[in-house]
């Protein structure tokens, strides 16, 4: 009904503008020319995203961006179905959820599959990080929502992939610097170009801030190199190297509701007392080789490897650590990972109609050395003390997949796929004492994910589609780490959450940049994974039965007049637990004591989310007014509290100068223009009731960008 009403409304609007609509609909010579957008995350090489029964979005990372470029949430704002929040805390990664998947993550990203230049940024267990995404060298970010995300395997409630630009001869080089409040400064450089058959893109960025909140100073350095080598005869090799260093990001922790009202910039006392902080260093290498086989077939092989080392100091008092089963208040994670993906694709015809098929397999492996220490030594707090945990963990997956697209009739096309995944967890406990038994163990999960969809073209510029599929999400190693009953060992009784996904959608692209996309979606999940208890600084999880995420999305791009453009996005999301279950709320609880009724909203998700951007461009000047509105967000499974909804406005302006050797751009931006107090993000099910991470007040940013021709 919603899709039909929107289609009728836009059709009537078009009829009211005879110059634009009549010729576009009835005259073939004047049919609108649609921009061709191939979303590589779909694994279809020759099919325009417009033709697929899939909700996709492509965000250009152009050199005319007027934002600081310090966090991926800047680029992902304004996309329907996507919630990306800057936490004002570099010790914790961006909060990211897609159609409600990934909302329970208190750190990192889970439930959403991440890639950088075709290299997985999510581990085999589904845990991922956005911190090494290089906005400085990025060309675009692709997002897939809905059933077809499942073709990427475990924890694919959505897919987010960043692509670096390919260097070509004559490309300009660029350097950019910006500064803002609390001594925040970002410096980035991009060297882009080509010499002979080799294209290069080297991007370097440095971000440093004293932090808007107390005890939140941080520094992050990122380097990203992409080399593209044309080997001729439809052969190409891409080499990717990435490095990130966050030497010591202070963590101000969350606040209670009373603390957030009293002083949103404060850090709680234990953050200072234990000097809560996190250090991260990551290096990785990847290679992607493509080889054309004849005129219509392509073989693509991807190999990668890397390491990510993390040390984090938590504010856990010595008391809980007196238990011989406690793992301490300092976490050390040394991760080594690698993977291989090989796929064959064919573009051609089947029964005389366009056809494309892909068949592939991949294997990914993560080897983790997890250690825990006490966060005190004698009277000294916030230091590494005695060893309390030492284990070697391995998680790997082996997947096979296939998908095919076929235009079965002039107005109809089909897309179908299948992926079978096996995910294996193995833990080798190396810290065994008389009071702490051997916690070694292993578990294997298997799941097959079928997906299918159809697209109908009633006219040249309109597509109606429907799709359905099944996805799954295993527990991550962090969720397996502690048993819900408080006993020794890992929670190997946890089962994967399995979701059945449905989507109905409409895509309408008219001439002159006008476009409308809408979708209705539903995901019914069995064995939903949720928090069972959160005490003593440790979270444990359990399967709680059924959950449902359903809603509607709409995106409208509308040029208003010469130089004026308007972009609107809206998401309605009804995310609830469909089965009643019990959780632990009391300190020391091991037997669930509090009921979560069926129909309770899943925390961390607003019911309504909207954004708008009005841009004016004339000559060398560009200005934009942005607005965003987010509804109330629950903070825990029982629905005891919520962060109030809010609406914010942002204003930016830029001026370009074309000079003999290049171009200079000056930009300025005001975020939270009206200086509203609001909660920027919540820490779901935080055991001490410190759920709230306040957003920043009015923020000013100014910057310069120099692009020079060589």
Q: Quick one: pLDDT at residue 36?
A: 62
Q: Domain 32-708: which CATH class?
A: mainly beta
Q: Tell me the C-alpha to C-alpha distance, in Å, between residue 436 and each of 29, 76, 323, 512.
A: 78, 45, 10, 68
**Per-residue pLDDT averaged across 295-318, rounded?**
95
What gap in Å lies between CA 511 and CA 313, rounded to an integer?
55
Are the CB atoms for 449 and 469 separated by under 8 Å?
A: yes
CA angle 333, 337, 342 (to 5 degrees): 160
Both tokens of 364, joined, read 């990914």
Q: Quick one: pLDDT at residue 283?
A: 95
Q: Quick one: pLDDT at residue 483?
A: 82
Q: Tell me the C-alpha to C-alpha distance, in Å, between residue 93 and each of 101, 108, 307, 689.
A: 16, 5, 18, 20
Q: Which residue has the tokens 């004591």?
A: 593
pLDDT band at 292 (very low <50, low <70, confident <90, very high): very high
Annotate 288-303 with DSSP letters as a single string.
EEEEEETTTEEEEEEE
Q: Which long-range contacts (CB under 8 A, 24 or more apart) does 346-355 make?
A: 346/296, 346/297, 346/298, 347/45, 347/46, 347/296, 347/297, 347/298, 348/296, 350/406, 353/406, 353/407, 353/408, 353/409, 354/406, 354/407, 355/404, 355/405, 355/406, 355/407
pLDDT band at 24 (very low <50, low <70, confident <90, very high): very low
What gap in Å lies between CA 377 and CA 367, rounded to an integer?
30
Q: What is the pLDDT of residues 492-521, one digit of tens each?
A: 889 999 999 999 999 999 888 899 999 999
Q: Which residue has the tokens 């004047």?
A: 30
Mean of the per-residue pLDDT values of the chain: 90
Q: What is the pLDDT of residues 156-211, one digit of tens each?
A: 899 999 999 999 999 999 999 999 989 999 999 999 999 999 999 999 999 999 99
What gap in Å lies between CA 33 and CA 37, rounded to an integer?
12
**Per-residue pLDDT averaged across 312-332, rounded?**
92
At 24, give phi and psi (nearest 5°).
-65, -35
Q: Quick one: pLDDT at residue 16?
A: 36
Q: How far apart are the first and last CA of the chain?
A: 56
What gap in Å lies between CA 159 and CA 113, rounded to an integer?
5
Q: What is the pLDDT of residues 629-655, one digit of tens each?
A: 999 999 999 999 999 999 999 999 999
Domain ranges within the chain, ordered by starting residue: 32-708
At 125, give phi and psi (nearest 5°).
-85, 0
Annotate 419-435 with DSSP letters as a single string.
EEEEEEEEEEE----SS
What gap in Å lies between CA 188 and CA 134, rounded to an integer?
10
What gap in Å lies between CA 83 and CA 302, rounded to an integer?
30
Q: Which helix (H) or strand (E) holds 52?
A: none
Q: Is 394 exposed, middle or buried (0-12, 13-18, 19+ CB in 10 A)?
A: middle
Q: Quick one: pLDDT at residue 17?
A: 36
Are the CB atoms for 176 and 187 separated by under 8 Å?
A: yes
Q: What is the pLDDT of residues 437-492, one digit of tens each?
A: 888 999 999 999 999 999 999 999 999 999 999 999 999 888 888 887 777 778 88
Give percent of the chain above pLDDT 90.
74
What gap in Å lies between CA 103 and CA 83, rounded to an integer?
9
What is the pTM (predicted TM-score) of this model?
A: 0.91
What gap in Å lies between CA 10 and CA 17, rounded to an integer?
11
Q: What is the pLDDT of residues 71-110, one digit of tens each?
A: 888 899 889 999 998 888 888 888 899 999 998 777 778 8
What gap in Å lies between CA 41 and CA 127, rounded to an integer?
19
Q: Quick one: pLDDT at residue 63?
A: 72
Both tokens of 385, joined, read 């003390």
Task: Let me know how many helices (H) and strands (E) the chain has, helices first.
Answer: 6, 41
Q: Is pLDDT of 379 > 80?
A: yes
Both tokens of 441, joined, read 């163990």
Both tokens of 264, joined, read 């949103």
Are the CB atoms for 230 and 237 separated by under 8 Å?
A: no
Q: Which helix (H) or strand (E) holds 260?
A: helix 257-262
Give percent of the chain above pLDDT 70.
94
pLDDT band at 11 (very low <50, low <70, confident <90, very high): very low
């Amino acid at each position: 009904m919603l899709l039909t009403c929107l289609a009728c409304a836009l059709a009537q609007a078009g009829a009211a503008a005879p110059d634009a609509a009549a010729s576009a609909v009835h005259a073939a010579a004047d049919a609108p020319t649609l921009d061709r957008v191939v979303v590589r995350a779909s694994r279809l090489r020759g099919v325009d995203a417009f033709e697929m029964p899939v909700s996709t979005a492509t965000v250009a990372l152009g050199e005319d961006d007027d934002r600081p470029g310090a966090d991926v949430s800047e680029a992902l704002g304004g996309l329907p179905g996507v919630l990306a929040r800057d936490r004002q805390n570099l010790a914790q990664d961006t909060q990211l959820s897609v159609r409600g998947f990934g909302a329970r993550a208190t750190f990192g990203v889970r439930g959403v599959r991440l890639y950088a230049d075709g290299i997985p940024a999510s581990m085999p267990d589904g845990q991922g990080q956005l911190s090494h995404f290089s906005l400085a060298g990025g060309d675009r970010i692709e997002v897939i929502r809905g059933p077809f995300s499942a073709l990427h395997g475990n924890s694919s409630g959505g897919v987010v992939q960043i692509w670096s630009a390919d260097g070509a001869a004559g490309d300009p080089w660029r350097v950019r610097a910006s500064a803002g409040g609390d001594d925040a400064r970002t410096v980035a450089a991009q060297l882009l170009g080509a010499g002979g058959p080799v294209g290069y893109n080297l991007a370097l960025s440095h971000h440093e801030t004293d932090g808007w909140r107390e005890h939140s100073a941080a520094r992050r350095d990122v380097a990203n190199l992409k080399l593209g080598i044309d080997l001729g005869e439809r052969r190409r090799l891409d080499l990717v190297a990435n490095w990130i260093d966050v030497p010591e990001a202070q963590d101000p922790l969350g606040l209670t509701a009373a603390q957030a009202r009293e002083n949103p910039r404060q850090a709680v006392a234990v953050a200072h007392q234990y000097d809560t902080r996190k250090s991260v260093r990551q290096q990785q290498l990847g290679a992607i080789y493509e080889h054309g086989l004849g005129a219509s077939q392509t073989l693509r092989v991807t190999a990668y490897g890397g390491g990510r080392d993390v040390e984090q100091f938590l504010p856990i008092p010595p008391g809980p650590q007196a238990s011989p089963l406690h793992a301490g208040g300092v976490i050390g994670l040394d991760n080594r990972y690698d993977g291989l993906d090989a796929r064959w694709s064919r573009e051609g015809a089947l029964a005389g109609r366009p056809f494309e098929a892909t068949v592939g397999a991949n294997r990914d492996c993560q080897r983790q050395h997890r250690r825990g220490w006490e966060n005190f030594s004698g009277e000294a707090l916030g230091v590494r003390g005695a060893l309390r945990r030492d284990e070697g963990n391995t998680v790997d997956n082996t997947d096979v997949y296939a998908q095919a697209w076929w235009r079965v009739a002039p107005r109809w096309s089909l897309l179908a796929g299948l992926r079978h995944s096996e995910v294996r967890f193995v833990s080798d406990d190396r810290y065994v004492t008389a009071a702490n038994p051997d916690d070694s163990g292993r578990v294997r999960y298997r799941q097959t994910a079928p997906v299918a969809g159809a697209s109908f073209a009633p006219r040249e510029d309109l597509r109606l589609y429907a799709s359905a599929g099944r996805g799954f999400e295993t527990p991550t190693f962090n969720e397996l780490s502690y048993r819900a009953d408080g006993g020794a060992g890992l929670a190997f009784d946890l089962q994967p959450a399995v979701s059945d996904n449905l989507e109905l959608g409409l895509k309408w692209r008219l001439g002159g940049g006008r476009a409308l996309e809408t979708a209705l979606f539903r995901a019914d999940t069995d064995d939903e994974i949720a928090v069972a208890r959160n005490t003593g600084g440790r979270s444990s999880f359990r399967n709680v039965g059924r959950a449902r995420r359903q809603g509607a999305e709409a995106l409208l791009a509308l040029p208003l007049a010469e130089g004026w453009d308007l972009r609107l996005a809206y998401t309605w999301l009804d995310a609830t637990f469909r089965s009643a279950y019990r959780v632990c709320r009391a300190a020391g609880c091991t037997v669930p004591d509090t009921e979560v009724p069926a129909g309770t909203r899943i925390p961390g998700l607003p019911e309504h989310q909207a954004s708008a951007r009005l841009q004016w461009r004339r000559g060398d000047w560009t200005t934009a007014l942005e607005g965003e509105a987010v509804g109330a967000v629950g903070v825990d499974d029982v629905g005891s509290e919520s962060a109030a909804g809010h609406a914010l406005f942002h204003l930016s302006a830029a001026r370009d100068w074309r000079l003999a050797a290049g171009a200079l751009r000056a930009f300025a931006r005001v975020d939270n223009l009206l200086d509203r107090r609001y909660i920027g993000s919540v820490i779901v099910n935080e055991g001490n009731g410190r759920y709230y991470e306040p957003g920043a007040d009015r923020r000013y940013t100014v910057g310069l960008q120099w692009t020079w021709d060589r």
